[in-house]
Structure 1
């Protein structure tokens, strides 16, 4: 599994350099930036201290939607749960969730918002799940590079090299493929118009283990086959 750390429109180049240093010390190498070139600023390199290669190899995306389309699992950081979502997890819980994905997730990304206002509601809606640190005081947030360091420490060891299990043949069994399958399938099942069934499904989807994801793919395949058979039977039925 490849685990990327994504900074959305950071404002301070020193934070970008310090984030790169934090990733390097914890064994991570994927730093992605959204709509930013701060990794090229001298101030970023001043604080990188031996992690200039991470800044040099940083991937740049125009927006978070482009990141969403490039990963199987997208995790957003938020100081607290938003809009009645039940999928807010502390970092230790997040580690367990990621570790259980196995080959079903080729690439996961952890997203950090802007220093002054975090992630927008629309950006949070793109995320499969949300995560945050419980605070001992009511102070609203951590410094960006501090947050990256804490998560990198908690998740250290999950930046694994590709294995036989993650070969391309396993693509159809991945979490991202299951999400796309359900986005097509749920409307065909006449899900309630209020969207509560879809919300329930997609909030719990990222929590599935690799084995569960395989079972869910099998279940979707069986439902799809039944729907095709039903449709074919309706088309072939004689007029009465």
Structure 2
């Protein structure tokens, strides 16, 4: 699994440089930025201290939607659970959830919000999972670079730069999500919208073996729906 650390519209170039240094020391090599060029500022390089290559090779995205399209799994950082979702994980639990994915996730993104206001609600809604550090007090909150360092340390054993495994592209988590988004409305089940929401929220929590089962299930549903569409409509003729 390749794990990228994503900074959304950071405000302080020193934080970007310090984040790059934290990632390098923990063995991570993928720093992505959303709508920012702060990695090019001298102040960022002042704090990078031997991690300038991460700044020089940072991948830039125009918005978080572009990041969403580039990864199989997107994890948003949030100070507390949001929107009654049950997928908010402290870092140790997140580590285990990621480790359970095996080769079903080729690329995952861990997304950090702005220093002054974090991630917007709609940005958190776009994430598959949410994570945060339980803190003893609400304020002061963690600095952006501090947060990156803590996550990099906790997740450092996940072979961040490993080559994607042998799972076919259509069996990976991102492709499975897209298949379910197509299939679930076609089932025309009672309370279909709630079923779809439930399935898509729990999909990122599944283990590698469970994801393989969902892959097989999707294939069976696709064949069944295609067969039903190919059946000729009975012509009863005139009464």
Q: TM-score range by the shorter chain?
A: over 0.9
**Does 1:87 find its partner at 2:91?**
no
Partner of 1:239: 236
C-alpha contact (below 8 Å) 2:23/2:29 kept by paired residues: yes
C-alpha contact (below 8 Å) 1:104/1:174 kept by paired residues: yes
Partner of 2:151: 151
CA distance in 1, matches of 2:189, 2:90: 31
CA distance in 2, matches of 1:33, 1:191: 40
Distance apart, 1:223 and its partner CA: 1.3
Partner of 2:108: 108
TM-score (norm 1): 0.94
Partner of 2:121: 121
After superposition, the Cα gap between the structure-2 partners of 1:191 and 1:81, relative to the gap in structure 1 and judged at 3 Å, is farther
C-alpha contact (below 8 Å) 2:34/2:60 kept by paired residues: yes
CA distance in 2, matches of 1:78, 1:160: 22
Q: What SS is found at the alignment partner of 1:111? A: strand
Could you report, residue by residue, the CA deviation over 1:39-70 in whole angstroms, capped at 9, with x for unpaired residues?
00000011001100000000000000000000
Q: Superposition pairs for residues 32-181 of structure 1, below 5 Å?
A: 32-139=32-139, 141-163=141-163, 166-167=165-166, 170-181=168-179
Structure 1 residues not aligned, in runs of 5+: none
Partner of 2:227: 229
Could you report, residue by residue, the CA deviation over 1:157-203 in whole angstroms, capped at 9, with x for unpaired residues?
2134445x724x62111001100000000101124557222221111
RMSD of equivalent CA atoms: 1.5
Distance apart, 1:125 and its partner CA: 1.0
**Does 1:26 find its partner at 2:26?**
yes
Distance apart, 1:237 and its partner CA: 2.7
C-alpha contact (below 8 Å) 1:79/1:140 kept by paired residues: no
Higher mean C-alpha displacement, 208-217 vs 2-11 = 208-217
Partner of 1:8: 8
Higher mean C-alpha displacement, 153-162 vs 182-191 = 153-162
Q: What SS is found at the alignment partner of 2:70? A: coil
CA distance in 2, matches of 1:119, 1:179: 23
CA distance in 2, matches of 1:191, 1:72: 27
Could you report, residue by residue, the CA deviation over 1:50-91 in whole angstroms, capped at 9, with x for unpaired residues?
100000000000000000000000000001111111111110
C-alpha contact (below 8 Å) 2:40/2:55 kept by paired residues: yes
CA distance in 2, matches of 1:6, 1:161: 15
After superposition, the Cα gap between the structure-2 partners of 1:161 and 1:45, relative to the gap in structure 1 and judged at 3 Å, is closer
C-alpha contact (below 8 Å) 2:101/2:208 kept by paired residues: yes
CA distance in 1, matches of 2:85, 2:111: 17
CA distance in 2, matches of 1:143, 1:118: 11
Distance apart, 1:26 and its partner CA: 0.3
